[in-house]
Amino acid sequence: MEDFIGNFTEEEMRNAVALIEQAKKNEAARKQERAEASKPRPFTEEEKRQANALVAYAKECMAARRLEHKKKK
């Protein structure tokens, strides 16, 4: 192993160490990005409005079905 390392200049060794450290930083940054990306984002006001409209519509449909069911009895 010592012979292998001895084949490199000091500058080449510094460059190799710098590349390894940069790769470690890049990997840590990718892990952080993946962790943040997996978190659910909060709903926008438009999405909340649409969801509330769908809930209201569903409630109206359920009420209409109940009335129809009562009329059939």
Q: Are residues 18 and 47 in the same domain?
A: no
Q: Are residues 57 and 33 in the same domain?
A: no
Provide the number of structural domains found in the chain: 2
Higher per-residue pLDDT: 50 or 73: 50
Q: Are residues 4 and 27 in the same domain?
A: yes
Identify the pLDDT of residue 39.
85
pLDDT in tens, 6-55: 688 889 999 999 999 999 999 999 999 998 888 888 899 999 999 999 99
Range of the domain at 23: 1-39
Q: Are residues 22 and 55 in the same domain?
A: no
Q: DSSP secondary structure string, 34-56? A: HHHHHSPPPPPHHHHHHHHHHHH
Calculate mean pLDDT across residues 47-69.
95
Q: Are residues 52 and 20 in the same domain?
A: no
Q: Which amino acid is at 24?
A: K
Distance spanning both ends of the chain, measured CA to CA: 90
What is the pTM for the complete model shown?
0.46
Give the C-alpha separation, 21 to 15, whole Å.
Answer: 10
Give the C-alpha separation, 43 to 34, whole Å.
Answer: 20
Q: Are residues 57 and 26 in the same domain?
A: no
